[in-house]
C-alpha cells in the first residue's frame, strides 16, 4: 500500500503519498490540485484494521489539523479495496446507515443538528445546510458493536462511493 497514488475527477487531481510508520500504522499526505488552480493538502496518520479479510483505515479526528477537526474527537472509518499492485480504492463509511442505526438504538452515537443555516462557500460552489439537518455524526459505541454493525450490513450499503487510485510510484 505504500507509494504515491493518483486520483483524477472532474479536472481535479489528487495525489496520495502513503508511508508505513510501523506494522499497522501509516502516514498519508493528500495533495489535491483543483481545476481552479488552488491546492489543498492534508497530512494524517492512520491505522489499518483487518476484519473478515477486508482492510479498514482508522483515522483519528484528533490527529487532523485544528481547521479540519474543529475540536471534535472520534474517528473517520474508511474501507480499503486493494484491486492489484497498482490499483486501490478507498470509501468513507456512509452517514445515512449510521444515522439510522443511532436513531433506532442499534449503535450508540451523537447526532449534531444545525441550529441555524450554514452557508459554506467553496470556490464557485455554495453549500447551504438548512436548520434541523444533521451536521455531524459521531459513533460513541464500542469497537465490538461497530464491527458487528459492519459485518451485518452489505459493504455496498455502508461504503457506496469508492474513490479509485492508480499507483504512480
Residue 123 has pLDDT above 50, yes or no: no
Higher pLDDT, 131 or 24: 24
pLDDT at 115: 64
**Quick one: average pLDDT of 58-77?**
74
What is the model's pTM? Answer: 0.77
pLDDT at 31: 93
Is residue 147 within 8 A of residue 141, CB to CB? The reply is: no
pLDDT at 61: 78
Distance CA 56, CA 77 (A): 7
pLDDT at 67: 65
pLDDT tens, residue by residue, 42-65: 898 999 989 888 999 988 877 777
SS (H, E, C) the chain: CCEEEEEEECCEEEEEEEEECCCCEEEEEEEEECCCCCEEEEEEEEEEEEECCEEEEEEEHHHCCHHHHCCCCCEEEEEEEEEECCEEEEEECCHHHHHHHHHCCCCCEEEEECCCCEEEEECCEEEEECCCCEEEEEECCCHHHHHHHHHCCCHHHHCCCCEEEEECC
How many domains, the chain? 1
Residue 159 has pLDDT above 90, yes or no: yes
Pairing of strands 39-51, 109-113: unpaired
- Which domain, by its residues, includes 10? 3-167
Higher pLDDT, 57 or 125: 57
Amino acid at each position: 500500500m505504500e507509494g504515491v497514488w493518483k486520483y483524477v475527477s472532474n479536472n481535479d487531481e489528487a495525489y496520495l503519498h502513503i508511508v508505513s510508520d510501523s506494522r499497522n500504522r501509516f502516514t498519508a499526505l493528500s495533495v489535491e490540485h483543483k481545476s481552479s488552480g488552488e491546492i489543498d493538502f492534508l497530512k494524517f496518520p492512520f491505522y489499518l484494521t483487518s476484519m473478515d479479510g477486508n482492510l479498514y483505515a482508522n483515522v483519528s479526528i484528533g490527529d487532523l489539523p485544528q481547521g479540519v477537526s474543529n475540536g471534535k474527537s472520534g474517528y473517520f472509518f474508511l474501507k480499503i479495496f486493494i484491486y492489484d499492485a497498482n490499483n486501490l480504492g478507498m470509501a468513507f463509511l456512509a452517514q445515512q446507515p449510521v444515522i439510522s442505526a443511532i436513531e433506532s438504538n442499534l449503535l450508540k452515537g451523537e447526532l449534531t443538528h444545525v441550529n441555524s443555516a450554514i452557508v459554506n462557500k467553496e470556490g464557485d460552489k455554495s453549500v447551504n445546510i438548512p436548520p434541523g439537518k444533521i451536521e455531524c455524526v459521531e459513533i460513541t459505541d464500542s469497537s465490538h458493536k461497530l464491527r458487528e454493525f459492519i459485518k451485518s450490513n452489505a459493504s455496498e450499503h455502508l461504503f457506496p462511493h469508492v474513490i479509485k487510485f492508480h499507483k504512480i510510484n
